[in-house]
Amino acid sequence: MKTYFTVFVVVFAILNFVHDSQEFSAGAGTVTGRRTFDERLAYCEVMENKCQSLRQKLKQSQNNRLQRKWSNSRFEEDDKE
């Protein structure tokens, strides 16, 4: 069973590579709507920027959460005294 899965993965990878190669070799404005390398690169840069933005928002929200948690624990300690 493991062998069949390995063969499937290898064949899938080869077919995917051939398909991508065909997309790269197709010119801009083709009838099939395939993207050029430059268009794919621009798309990757846009997605990378979005990921960085999301990481920054996540880090900020984590910092805010930790700050609130720290503030709440300080107030609880003040109440105990």
What sign does the dihedral 69-72-78-80 (CA atoms) show?
negative
Report the number of distinct structural domains present in the chain: 1
Cα→Cα distances 14→1, 22, 26, 43, Å: 20, 12, 18, 24
Q: How does residue 35 score in pLDDT terms, banded at 50, 70 and 90?
A: confident
CA 51/CA 63 separation, integer angstroms: 18
Tokens of 79: 């109440």
List, for residues 4-23, the tens digit of each pLDDT value: 778 888 888 888 776 665 55
Calculate mean pLDDT across residues 56-74: 86
pTM for this entry: 0.43
Instruction: State which residues form the domain around 30.
Output: 1-79
